[in-house]
Amino acid sequence: MASVLNVKESKAPERTAVVAGLPVGLFSDQLLALLVKSHFQDIKNEGGDVEDVIYPTRTKGVAYVIFKEKKVAENVIRQKKHRLARKARHAELTVSHFSDKIFSSVNAILDLSVFGKEVTLETLVKDLKKKIPSLNFSPLKPNGRISVEGSFLAVKRLKESLLVRACSLLEKDRNFTSEGRKWNRQNPQRSLQRSNNPLASVRTLVPETARSGEMLVLDTDVFLYLHHKCRSYESTLKKFCILSQEKVDGEITTICLKNIQVGSQPNNAKHVKELIEEWSHALYLKLRKETFILEGKEKKEKRMIKCACEQLSSRYPEVLINFYRTHVDIIGSSSDTYLFKKGVMKLIGQKVS
């Protein structure tokens, strides 16, 4: 089984692209490698001469494509979308720069017990396996915990899928509670029993004034990029007279949308929600994040990193820079974040791997 070492030994990391999202199980490994090579040699895909395709690797659905020229590799990575041939069901590929520090395989432990009252956990796991076949799932434990292993991008997609499902269940639970209150007013001698739904606790994140509106849950990095770098977000809220109440809670941001103009279309909030979901999904596939650790460094080095980021910000207007006490996050497209990181490392006098 090939690994990162194969690329390092080939002395071609700068000419190598990491390709994720390959359709697992449709073809033999040899045929899939040929399809990948054919795709990236096609000029229509900004491709060129391919020296080698390393597949299979230690991570399901991930291949390393080594080009003969560095420029071709950069062109391929710069292109936003890649889709394999029709016979491969037009599988959408995610292409990024190779780095020996890249997580070729990520392990994560999930606690699915929060979904226990709403869905059969075995059915949930089965759906996830079908949706993201490149992930390896361990047997589901009685307490609802399960471990998964796969590429960073596949685990990221799993996270998105679970967030969407949680949001959907929360919507249903909120609607059920709303109907229960209405029914309770009509039947004053009866009262709704307190919900034992573990998802109900998430409702505390939602402002009471927005309960009658629309709610969605986004990855915080995606939300911050959408809010600060996409003009369409604020302009759309203004155009449809929508109040957006946002609460950032770690990696998850909850957004509540509500009509603020009397007489406005009741479906405006729902329409805006659908637009934001569409934008966030596209950004989820496009964005990458690089992090500069500040914790434990000398004040001078911290200052140099911050100054370098500020100096490069005008050169890369599409890159979002988030400064925190312990680190700096750089969020943008794969090519932009790579070049931004490379520029910072050069300015502070360090080599880029």
Whole-angstrom Cα distance, residue 67 to residue 82?
16
Q: What is the CATH architecture of 13-97?
A: 2-Layer Sandwich (3.30)
Lowest-pLDDT range of 58-62, 91-95, 336-340: 58-62
Residue 56, preceding bond cis, omega within 30 degrees?
yes
Same fold yes or no, 13-97 and 214-287: no
Is the domain 214-287 a CATH 3.30.1370 member? yes
- The domain spans of the chain are 13-97, 105-174, 214-287, 289-348
CA–CA distances in Å: residue 312 to residues 260, 342, 346: 39, 11, 11
Per-residue pLDDT tens digits for 147-168: 888 776 677 778 777 877 776 6
Q: Measure the CA dihedral 177/180/182/183, to 10°.
A: 170
CATH number for the domain formed by residue range(s) 105-174: 3.30.1370
- Taking the whole predicted model, whether its pTM rises above 0.75 is answered as no
The answer on pLDDT for 118 being more than 70 is no
Whole-angstrom Cα distance, residue 201 to residue 170?
10
Per-residue pLDDT tens digits for 252-282: 788 889 888 766 666 888 899 999 988 988 8
Per-residue pLDDT tens digits for 183-213: 444 444 433 333 344 433 333 343 443 345 7
